[in-house]
Structure 1
Amino acid sequence: MRPISRAVLRPYVCQTCRHGIGAGRRRFASQADSPDLYDVVCVGGGPAGLGLMAALRASPITSKLRVALIETQDLTKAQAWNLEPTQYSNRVSSLTPSSVAFLRQIGAYDHLDVDRVQDYQDMQVWDGQTGSRISFDWSMETSPFEDPRAVATMTENANLVRALLRRIAQSGDENLSLFSNSTVASIETGSDLKPEGPDLSAWPILSIKPTGPGESTPKRIAARLLVGADGINSPVRSFADISTHGWDYGRHGIVATLALGDLDIPPFPASKRTAYQRFLPALGGPIALLPLPNNNATLVWSTTPENAAYLKSLSTPSFLAMVNAAFRLDMTDLSYMMGMSSSSDISHQDELTWRTKHTVLPSQIPPPATAVQEGTVASFPLRFRHAAQYVSPRVALVGDAAHVIHPLAGQGLNLGLADVASLSKTIQYAVSHGMDVGDLLTLERYSSERYLPNAKIGGACDLLHKMYTVPGEGPVAWARSLGLGVVDRLPFVKSFLMKNAEGY
């Protein structure tokens, strides 16, 4: 962490005395050298960074703070994002009810395109090795006469980003600066430049320059509080000298947007939607199919880099056959099909058809995938990272800058939004009580609220990944099968797990 001696002493020395102490020092800085002063500066214009800006602008307590956001991408393009109604992005997130409640509270949910949003009320999870299964829904806590309660809500990240930008725009331009198409050239600790006004000796000073062609003088701004929402390789975290621990999983996540066929048995009620996840220990991780509107779905398949490369190399019919096989066939058949040559005389679809006839299918299989949206098949490496701390003098980290977890539980974005909700409340508390929003004692409130919950969920996802990548029928498989079956038969335990996952 950055040295904090002056930052700790400063709150206990009044401003008049502070200037008296430094009166004998010669000052060479001109007014032109002085940076623009902001109360809160956020680096990163993803859902976490934009969520913080929207939350601060939505609260009457913090709406008058001078705030800025810096983003390397073009925010005007993000605000104008639009796809055909039948097309869906492959960057999709599952929002828990607590995340939806936060978005409603700050007025952002009203700006979502709800025709592109899909609730699901049930999630079926099972072990491809042992066949043990568990289902997640809220039926144990709702009346049979009520509409089924949503387990989560699926939305494209671009839809969420656009909604947050529209909510921020709705708040007006006063005391707001959005540095789009801009990058942070440097961050340094300031000096006491002004004879009058705040002591900047512990404030982060940012030099901002456009990302486009041409030369321009970097703009300098000072942050009473600097927020890093700038991802896994966070420059803000580096400036604060905050270390991280973690590892790469040696796995890749395959994503794609799929069209689905009809279920053999229509759901009841007709509006009910189900998400599916099957653990495939022999192939390196789980496969999940999460519903989108109009009988579409997003695929997330965690597997080895070799399998990921193989899947991406397949033709569309072969890729669809492998996806359908992953929810239907046993581990031996799947391992064989994963090694088939693309030039084989027997196609993947023929192999799937033949093997399905000789397989006892699980009762909870999803409808078959019938088409892949062009250009949506992609992959990304899976990692675990956790910052040693979330705060430093005048610095706070949120989202992926603070933690990156395995995606098997779909909690990454939700943890980031929970960080933003907590930090915005911390800032509101500081403003309403006359506190310095960037002081370390102020920020500890946020850190104490979020560090352990994030570590708990990240650790649970890491443990699940390790348990469900052990192939074979050994003691680990027996233990996880027993545990899954026991939890499924104890509604109060299952309810406890769901509430923890959803942030209640």
Structure 2
Amino acid sequence: MQFVRPLRLSTKRIVSLRPIPITRYHRTYATTTTTTTNSAVIYDVVIVGGGPAGLSLASALRSSPATNALRVALIEGMDLEPLRKWAPEPRTYSNRVSSLTPGSVRFLSDTGAWNHVRGERVQAYDGMNVWDGVSGSQISFSAGLQGSESTIAYMCENNNLVSGLLSRIAELGEGIDIMDKTRVEKISFGEDNGELDLRSWPVVQVSSGKQLAARLLVGADGANSPVRTFADIETRGWDYGRHGVVATLNLEEEGEKIAYQRFLPTGPVAMLPLPGPYASLVWSTTPQNAAALKTLSSDGLAAMVNAAFRLSHVDIDFIVSNFKAGLVDEVAWREKSTSFDTSRVPSRVVGVQEKSVASFPLKMRHADSYISERVALIGDAAHSVHPLAGQGLNQGLGDVRSLIKTLEFAVQHGQDIGSVLSLEPYFSEQYLKNHVLLGVVDKLHKLYATTSAPVVAARSLGLDVVDKLGVFKRFIMAQAAGR
């Protein structure tokens, strides 16, 4: 893949908002007819990436009265047709599941997309138990702390959300050109052909041979974003040296619809409720442990998940490192001689859904800027966060909500939607908000990754104090819920 880029304004200059010369165009914000220049087709907005963030932006653009006249294209490398016709097996759930906050669901409802999500496959939960795997100190959250809000979050398969977004876009009719099974081959700048000066416009060349000139190019194309590379925006961050193991679990009984999370020195393990006697596992651990967990049988992994919520962290590390044969009996024997609070732990796991076990490396990344001239970044293209707070997709939807608001203002006031000055409100609103969340999650990961006695004592005292102060818990829940 080739990216051709001349000298551009630096990120530092964009952030400091020094005066930027703006090229004047024949139209300021909308392309209502199919316009071509040489071989490039002109679009107001070109979105690269057809995941939840990119599709949410496309759906919101078409749903808003202020922006529904904009001509939009979405480019996605994968085939989206299976998700348009998504027909999942009952009692079978994907391992790619997100915890959506009430704020995210309200946004999706406002744009009409949530009505197309299959509600019978979405699970709301109204409680959360979190505890320290070394000291046993705990904090619990319940929806009752939020007053009128009856739900902490909603568990929704990513496939379900994407299918709903595609259905909503189809319902809205013409106005969005979705080009799936299409790769981005090159992004460069256009030319001045005498009719329209495209020298500052990104031109996207795709695998079908088409060229798309974008008044605004949006990168929703993941952590290795070609759009971000084209815009010459750097990212900062680090790898955690941990992998996240995910799976869909079969439970002995349905139990309460509560989320459980235990902080172990190797990383947190979380069990999140799905409809019926099922749950979603997210276990952050060392690469060695992750590799060992993935090789276990269904019974073996079920036993290790039960151990992760019941046994000491020393026992857990010893078993996963030294046992494969006889693991189930070893866990059962150690459970008999270990005392634990049965009211704190989740329902016992009795099996693991076939082919649902997977893992991925964990990292933190944050782009230096979310905007450049005629470029905006959203979702993982702008930031990647540790999954311990379940905020990755919510951050991406927050980006979309903010960018839509910014574009609506630009259109309503006759501004060029691709200029840095028009995009600046989006960057100003989202960057600091996301930066704070990334920092908090990163510090939590590091705080609970140690077994140092003074640190354990200090964090346990803090957790116990916060658990007793309802006002602090309400504040934490309000922030997590996107309010």
Q: Could you report, residue by residue, the CA deviation over 1:241-289 in whole angstroms, capped at 9, with x for unpaired residues?
A: 00001111100000000111127xx65xxxxx101000111xx101000
Q: Structure 2 CA distance, aligned partners of 1:159 and 1:112?
A: 6
Q: 2:419 corresponds to which residue?
A: 439
Q: Do 2:146 and 2:478's aligned partners in 1 also have CA atoms closer than 8 Å?
A: no
Q: Do 1:128 and 1:278's aligned partners in 2 also have CA atoms closer than 8 Å?
A: yes
TM-score, length of structure 1 as denominator length: 0.89
Residue number among 102, 108, 116 corresponding to 2:113 in the alignment: 108
Q: Could you report, residue by residue, the CA deviation over 1:93-146 in whole angstroms, capped at 9, with x for unpaired residues?
A: 000000000000000000001111000000100011000000112323437xxx
Q: Structure 1 CA distance, aligned partners of 2:168 and 2:191?
A: 36
Q: Do 2:185 and 2:206's aligned partners in 1 also have CA atoms closer than 8 Å?
A: yes
Q: 2:59 corresponds to which residue?
A: 54
- Equivalences for 1:48-197 in 2 at 5 Å? 48-142=53-147, 149-173=150-174, 175-193=175-193, 195-196=194-195
Residue number among 219, 235, 251 corresponding to 2:242 in the alignment: 251
Deviation at 1:201, TM superposition (A): 1.4
Runs of 4+ that moved beyond 3 A: 13-16
Matched, 1:330 2:317: no
Q: Do 1:286 and 1:301's aligned partners in 2 also have CA atoms closer than 8 Å?
A: yes
- Equivalences for 1:294-305 in 2 at 5 Å? 294-305=276-287
Deviation at 1:339, TM superposition (A): 2.4
Q: Structure 2 CA distance, aligned partners of 1:229 and 1:184?
A: 13
Q: Structure 1 CA distance, aligned partners of 2:235 and 2:37?
A: 38
Deviation at 1:476, TM superposition (A): 1.1
Amino acid of the residue matched to residue 57 of structure 2? L
Aligned-partner SS, 2:183: strand
Amino acid of the residue matched to residue 279 of structure 1? F
Matched, 1:357 2:358: no
Deviation at 1:407, TM superposition (A): 0.3
Q: Structure 1 CA distance, aligned partners of 2:271 and 2:314?
A: 22
Matched, 1:382 2:373: no
- Equivalences for 1:302-321 in 2 at 5 Å? 302-321=284-303
Q: Structure 2 CA distance, aligned partners of 1:15 and 1:109?
A: 38
Q: Structure 2 CA distance, aligned partners of 1:463 and 1:4?
A: 33
Aligned-partner SS, 1:64: coil
Q: Structure 1 CA distance, aligned partners of 2:460 and 2:124?
A: 29
Matched, 1:207 2:191: no
Q: Structure 2 CA distance, aligned partners of 1:452 and 1:302?
A: 26
Q: Structure 2 CA distance, aligned partners of 1:43 and 1:14?
A: 24
Amino acid of the residue matched to residue 178 of structure 1? I
Aligned-partner SS, 2:135: coil
Q: Could you report, residue by residue, the CA deviation over 1:67-98 in whole angstroms, capped at 9, with x for unpaired residues?
A: 00000001112211221111100000000000
Residue number among 481, 484, 487 corresponding to 2:460 in the alignment: 481
Deviation at 1:489, TM superposition (A): 0.8
Q: 1:394 corresponds to which residue?
A: 374
Q: 2:15 corresponds to which residue?
A: none
Q: Structure 1 CA distance, aligned partners of 2:372 and 2:313?
A: 48
Q: 2:432 corresponds to which residue?
A: 452
Aligned-partner SS, 1:438: coil
Aligned-partner SS, 1:339: helix
- Equivalences for 1:213-228 in 2 at 5 Å? 218-228=209-219
Aligned-partner SS, 1:87: coil
Q: Structure 2 CA distance, aligned partners of 1:96 and 1:176?
A: 27
Amino acid of the residue matched to residue 286 of structure 1? P
Q: 1:443 to 1:350 in 2, by over 3 A?
A: same
Deviation at 1:14, TM superposition (A): 7.5
Q: Structure 2 CA distance, aligned partners of 1:233 and 1:288?
A: 27
Q: Structure 2 CA distance, aligned partners of 1:52 and 1:348?
A: 47
Q: Structure 2 CA distance, aligned partners of 1:483 and 1:82?
A: 47
Deviation at 1:317, TM superposition (A): 1.3
Q: Structure 2 CA distance, aligned partners of 1:141 and 1:44?
A: 35
Q: Structure 1 CA distance, aligned partners of 2:427 and 2:125?
A: 32
Q: Structure 1 CA distance, aligned partners of 2:228 and 2:295?
A: 37
Runs of 5+ consecutive residues of structure 1 not aligned to the other structure:
17-30, 211-217, 268-272
Q: Do 2:58 and 2:176's aligned partners in 1 also have CA atoms closer than 8 Å?
A: no
Q: Structure 2 CA distance, aligned partners of 1:104 and 1:500?
A: 20
Q: Structure 1 CA distance, aligned partners of 2:26 and 2:55?
A: 33
Q: Structure 2 CA distance, aligned partners of 1:454 and 1:101?
A: 19
Q: 1:28 corresponds to which residue?
A: none
Amino acid of the residue matched to residue 455 of structure 1? H
Q: Do 1:78 and 1:158's aligned partners in 2 also have CA atoms closer than 8 Å?
A: yes
Q: Structure 1 CA distance, aligned partners of 2:300 and 2:207?
A: 47
TM-score, length of structure 2 as denominator length: 0.92
Q: 1:293 corresponds to which residue?
A: 275
Q: Do 1:457 and 1:501's aligned partners in 2 also have CA atoms closer than 8 Å?
A: no
Q: Structure 2 CA distance, aligned partners of 1:142 and 1:360?
A: 35
Amino acid of the residue matched to residue 206 of structure 1? V
Aligned-partner SS, 2:310: coil
Runs of 5+ consecutive residues of structure 2 not aligned to the other structure:
11-18, 28-35
Q: Do 2:185 and 2:205's aligned partners in 1 also have CA atoms closer than 8 Å?
A: yes
Matched, 1:468 2:469: no
Deviation at 1:15, TM superposition (A): 5.6
Aligned-partner SS, 2:289: helix
Aligned-partner SS, 1:355: helix
Q: 2:258 corresponds to which residue?
A: 274
Amino acid of the residue matched to residue 151 of structure 2? A
How many pairs does the alignment contain? Answer: 461
Q: Structure 1 CA distance, aligned partners of 2:334 and 2:462?
A: 30
Amino acid of the residue matched to residue 113 of structure 1? R
Q: Structure 1 CA distance, aligned partners of 2:448 and 2:424?
A: 36
Deviation at 1:341, TM superposition (A): 2.9
Q: Do 1:119 and 1:150's aligned partners in 2 also have CA atoms closer than 8 Å?
A: yes
Residue identity (%) = 53
Deviation at 1:4, TM superposition (A): 4.0
Q: Structure 2 CA distance, aligned partners of 1:232 and 1:373?
A: 28
Q: Do 1:254 and 1:380's aligned partners in 2 also have CA atoms closer than 8 Å?
A: yes
Q: Structure 2 CA distance, aligned partners of 1:278 and 1:40?
A: 43
Deviation at 1:349, TM superposition (A): 2.0
Amino acid of the residue matched to residue 242 of structure 1? I
Aligned-partner SS, 2:20: helix
Worse-matched range after superposition: 132-141 or 489-498 = 132-141
Q: Structure 1 CA distance, aligned partners of 2:89 and 2:263?
A: 33
